[in-house]
Amino acid sequence: MSEEGPVRRGKHDLYEDLKSQILTMELDPDESLDETLIGERYGLSRTPVRDVFRRLAGDGYLDIQENRRARVISMNHHTLRHFFLGAPMIYAAIGRLAVQNFKPRQLTELKDAQERFRTASASGDAQFMVLENNRFHEIIGEMSGNFYLRPSLGRLLIDHARIGHTFFRPRNDDMRRRLQMAVEHHDSFIAAIAAKDEEAVVGLVLEHWELSRENMEMFIAPEGLKADARFGAAAAAMERSA
């Protein structure tokens, strides 16, 4: 039996809201979720709430274990290490495949996401920027058409948003300049994909990653730390809070 309209809408809203709250750090890593309270808030019984939790777990946002509350996926020294090791390789592979396989409709969606990101950056709406930046890169993943790499990209994008969320709250002129560079990179991605220039896209991926990596290091390590101490300091701090 198919679900009634209000239940479908409630599940959709719950999925999108929890996803947004995780990406923007409104929900902390490893935070537990009370399915009863959440169900009351969205007018849903436990069964549809659990359906949404399972979907979010499958997409990499939640961790579900037997006889325990669902929890926001953790972020600790293990995830940091794997993130920084794996991100540039997966982003580059996704970019190359996107050039080979994209459809015109997807290019239009990418342009639309970029305009929303540009609007958010001009207005200084940090949460909007986080979500539209995430959507921009999700669409490139969809363009790749690769069902092996897309789940890995999705998992990377969750932590990319969470680790680097302060990038979208620039505190000085240098950070504002970096944000403008990110906007320009997105424009260049669109142009290179439209031109089917595979090498240009891969070059942009690496340039964009380097910009992101530097901004994320600024977030996880105080200014003045030696470069070779940054990862260890960040890992230790996150391990203490885990």
pTM for this model (two decimals)? 0.86
- Closest residue by Cα to residue 138 from 100, 94, 87: 94
Inter-CA distances, 20 with 35, 50, 193, 225, Å: 17, 18, 27, 32
Which pLDDT does position 169 carry in this prediction? 82
Q: Are strands 71-72 and 62-63 parallel, antiparallel or unpaired?
A: antiparallel
At CA 108, angle to CA 132 and CA 153, rounded to 5? 50
pLDDT of 220 reads: 65
Q: What is the pLDDT of residue 48?
A: 96
Intrachain domains 5-72 and 77-241 with the same fold = no
How far, in whole angstroms, is CA 33 from its chain's centroid? 20
Architecture of domain 5-72: Orthogonal Bundle (1.10)
Give the pLDDT score at 2. 58
| pLDDT value of position 215 | 78
Q: Domain limits of the chain?
A: 5-72, 77-241
**111-125, 193-207, 223-237 — which is least confidently predicted?**
223-237
How confident is residue 89, by pLDDT bands cut at 50, 70 and 90?
A: very high
Rounded to an integer, what distance in angstroms lies between the CA atom of residue 81 and that of residue 76?
A: 9
Tokens of 137: 């890169």
Q: Note the pLDDT tens digit of each residue in 193-221.
A: 999 999 999 999 999 999 988 877 766 65
pLDDT bin (cut points 50, 70, 90) of residue 229 is very low
Q: Is the pLDDT of residue 234 over 50?
A: no
Q: Which CATH number fits domain 77-241: 1.20.1250.20, 3.40.50.300, 2.10.10.90, 1.20.120.530?
A: 1.20.120.530
The pLDDT, as a whole number, for residue 95 is 98
Q: Report the pLDDT value the prediction gives residue 5, as an integer from 0 to 100.
A: 85
